[in-house]
């Protein structure tokens, strides 16, 4: 805090005011620079590319946005997303998670998949997040969620809400249309996990099942 302790005369007060103005002129540019730098740190641009974390060339085309204004592709039929779930003999571990913005357990476990992508430097793990949001939410609620949370994960919107017509094709154990569920596969190894993953350590153990 600036303070003046000299004699209280009209001349000294005038000098003091001029001194304060000079100090303010020096302080304001510094303050403006500080606010600019801190605001850049606090308000990071949302939404990495949907190719974030993609290590498989076979996946790249499937994960490319196909709808103007969206950063992720939108598919309406199971045949379109089926290649994401099929065996590939490429020594890559695939982690395919089914989620939705309205599913609280899905959002909770999402951080573990982000951590897996961030900590996998061997370029042999591919995570894909397939959203089951309602068709009317894909360009509104889901879009807002993806843009407000800078995900380091590829996202796909799948809008076929007639679950009984395709969930058994993902895995025979998926008998009810409950989420989250996650499919793990690598070459000929395959494991299907029903329910929320409770920790990163648990996720690492599930990945190890197919490696």
The 10s digit of each residue's pLDDT in 6-57 is 444 444 433 444 443 444 444 444 444 443 433 333 223 333 456 666 777 7
Give pLDDT, residue 205.
Answer: 97
Strand 74-75 with 155-158, pairing = parallel
pTM for this prediction: 0.75
Residue with tokens 């379109």: 80
Give pLDDT, residue 120.
Answer: 77
Q: What is the pLDDT of residues 137-191, one digit of tens each?
A: 999 999 999 999 877 889 999 999 999 999 999 999 998 879 999 999 999 999 9
Structure-token pair, residue 5: 């302790």
| DSSP 8-state code for residue 7 | -
Which of 65, 90, 182 minimizes the C-alpha distance to 129? 182
Q: Where is 9: in which H helix or E strand?
A: none
Rg (CA), the chain: 26
């Amino acid at each position: 805090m600036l303070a003046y302790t000299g004699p209280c005369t009209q001349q000294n007060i005038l000098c003091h005011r001029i001194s304060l103005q000079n100090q303010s002129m020096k302080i304001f540019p510094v303050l403006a620079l500080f606010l600019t730098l801190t605001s850049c740190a606090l308000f990071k641009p949302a939404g990495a590319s949907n190719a974030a974390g993609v290590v498989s060339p076979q996946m790249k085309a499937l994960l490319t946005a196909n709808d103007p204004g969206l950063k992720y592709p939108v598919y309406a039929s199971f045949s379109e997303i089926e290649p994401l779930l099929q065996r590939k003999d490429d020594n890559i571990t695939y982690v395919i998670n089914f989620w939705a913005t309205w599913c609280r357990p899905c959002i909770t476990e999402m951080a573990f998949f982000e951590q897996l992508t961030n900590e996998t430097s061997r370029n042999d793990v591919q995570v894909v997040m397939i959203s089951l949001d309602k068709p009317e939410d894909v360009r509104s609620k889901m879009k807002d969620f993806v843009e407000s949370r800078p995900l380091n994960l590829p996202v796909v919107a799948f809008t076929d809400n007639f679950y009984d017509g395709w969930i058994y094709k993902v895995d025979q154990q998926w008998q009810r249309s409950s989420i989250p569920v996650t499919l793990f596969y690598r070459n000929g190894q395959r494991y299907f996990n029903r329910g929320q993953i409770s920790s990163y350590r648990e996720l690492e153990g599930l990945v190890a099942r197919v490696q």
